Amino acid sequence: MTVTKYLSKPVPSLSLHFFRIGYGFATTILIIRYFYFGWIHSYFIKPTFFFKHFGWEWIHPLPPIFTYLLFVILLFSALGIFLGYFLRFNLFVFTIGFTWFHFSDATIYLNHYYLISLLGFLLWLSPVTKSNLPILQWKEWIPNVDPIPKLWLYTFRIQMGLVYFFGGVAKLQPDWLFEALPLKLWLYQSEGKLPIIDPILGLPVTAFVFSWIGLLFDLSIPFLLCTKRFRFYAWLVVLFFHSFTSFLFPIGIFPIVMSLSSLIFFEPNWPKTFLTKFLKLNIENDISKSSVIPQKRETQFGFKEYLLITYLTLQITIPFRHIFYPGQVIWTEEAIKFSWQVMVADKVGRVVFFVQNKPIDPKEELTEYQYRMMTIQPEHILQYAKHLQKKGMELTGAKDVPVYVQSDVSINGKPARPLFPPNEDLTKINVNFFPLKGLLR
């Protein structure tokens, strides 16, 4: 049997349908949180300057009224994904809209937001979203959904496994392994959240134990979830791990996304087995009763499947690109994004810019969150320096306005040191695919 024949072998698609339901549920909660906590105003209306991702400078925030309209559309499209209506259309709208707002300011980049965009793209492309599958009519479509090529199931499993695995690889560095940093700092800051175990959290050994548990969890859990013998117990560990960390640390909906998404590792027909054997529900396999399911057909290995192979190749190689840059990636931040470097460092910075020998405090223009993110990321410092240069040239009429910076960054509570020499004109440094010139490594 050839590889393509094996990967095109039909398997039940129910687990992927329930994956889509979980995706819609999690994204609905996410958008509601933006309305409830006022983050739409804080991140997209209040700022007067926005940082850009390299290569994505063409994405700009929308005017205020259209920003709110975008989030209303995102809310309804997420609900549509969850409820099973107009799936392909809603996934297209949500994925484009969500990626747009996520990329409109680089300081709000989060790994699980990037994951949400990727999963939205994969679901939109997948064969399970070609029909309306109302969640309230689940008895009609659960017994009769079309099979899918095995590659689709593997793609989602590999994608979720890569998040864990590369998160573990990122922890293979001295601070995490031998000094329990940054967990030592974060556990101290989290005292009071779980009073019953506060005395345990305060012990020096606890941070080391948690650091190594986190490392072993990330590196092993994808493989344990792939093993039928240990899968259920591994999933229980996933639930406990993400629930516990969500109590201790402010990590948003990341635990919900990962806990629900990890169900994709179970047998492809697990939802039907769960409903019939454990909930004792009667699900008849009669396609004549369903008005929402197309006739079944043989699976094929076509253009989309070859596109998946290319996609997976990129997802496996992109996280390794930081090895081509000198210095420690958690310090330089070069190629750290899109690489699943999840919660591996605690960085605090302070910057003051100098334009024509006058100090410029960026806190006067940036929001508090933007300032904190900018101070620890060299690329953002360079962007703001060129912004100040542009303002200086408009104000003075000069053709060139040098911009300097005094930057001090502390990583994992260690003594602060500068990112750039104080006599380096930041406007002469260009951001591209090559290592940043002038960056102190």
CA 439, CA 418: separation in Å to the nearest integer?
Answer: 9
Please report which helix (H) or strand (E) contains residue 148, including its range: strand 148-149
Predicted confidence (pLDDT) at residue 279 exceeds the cutoff of 80: no
CA 240, CA 187: separation in Å to the nearest integer?
Answer: 17
Q: Which residue type sits at 251?
A: I
Specify the pLDDT at position 1: 65
- How confident is residue 349, by pLDDT bands cut at 50, 70 and 90? very high
Q: Is 337 helix (H, G, I), strand (E, B) or coil?
A: coil
Q: Which residue type sits at 155?
A: T
Specify the pLDDT at position 86: 95
Span 92-97, average pLDDT: 98
CA 220, CA 400: separation in Å to the nearest integer?
Answer: 54
pLDDT digits (tens, 9 = 90+) for 379-434: 999 999 999 999 999 998 888 999 999 999 999 999 999 999 999 999 999 999 99
Residues 238 and 266: beta-carbon distance below 8 Å: no
Longest dimension (CA), the chain: 79
Specify the pLDDT at position 198: 77
- Percent of the chain, pLDDT > 90? 79
CA 96, CA 273: separation in Å to the nearest integer?
Answer: 35
Span 287-313, average pLDDT: 68
SS3 content of the chain, % helix, strand, coil (to 5): 60, 5, 35
Span 291-309, average pLDDT: 68
Q: Is 426 helix (H, G, I), strand (E, B) or coil?
A: helix
Span 231-258, average pLDDT: 94
Span 279-292, average pLDDT: 54
Local structure of residue 351 (DSSP, 8 states): E
Beta strands in 295-357 (DSSP E): 347-355
CB atoms inside a 10 Å sphere around CB 359: 10
Residues 216 and 384: beta-carbon distance below 8 Å: no
User: Taking the model in full, what pTM does it have?
Assistant: 0.93
CA 292, CA 309: separation in Å to the nearest integer?
Answer: 30
Q: Which pair of structure tokens corresponds to residue 69?
A: 């309209």
Specify the pLDDT at position 288: 38
CA 394, CA 402: separation in Å to the nearest integer?
Answer: 13
CA 17, CA 23: separation in Å to the nearest integer?
Answer: 10
Q: Is 376 helix (H, G, I), strand (E, B) or coil?
A: coil
- How confident is residue 293, by pLDDT bands cut at 50, 70 and 90? very low
Average pLDDT, rounded, for the chain:
92
Q: With the C-alpha atoms ordered 311, 110, 165, 377, is the resulting torsion angle positive or negative? A: positive
CB atoms inside a 10 Å sphere around CB 259: 19
Span 206-218, average pLDDT: 96
User: Cβ neighbours of residue 377 under 8 Å, at least 6 residues apart?
Assistant: 333
User: Cβ neighbours of residue 278 under 8 Å, at least 6 residues apart?
Assistant: none
pLDDT digits (tens, 9 = 90+) for 11-68: 999 999 999 999 999 999 999 999 999 999 999 999 999 999 999 999 999 999 999 9
Specify the pLDDT at position 298: 52
Count Cβ neighbours within 10 Å for each residue of 213-242 and write b for 16 or more, e otherwise.
Answer: ebbebbbbbbebbeeeeebeebbebbeebb
200 or 183: which carries more pLDDT confidence? 183
Q: Which residue has the tokens 């492309």?
A: 125
Please report which helix (H) or strand (E) contains residue 164, including its range: helix 150-169
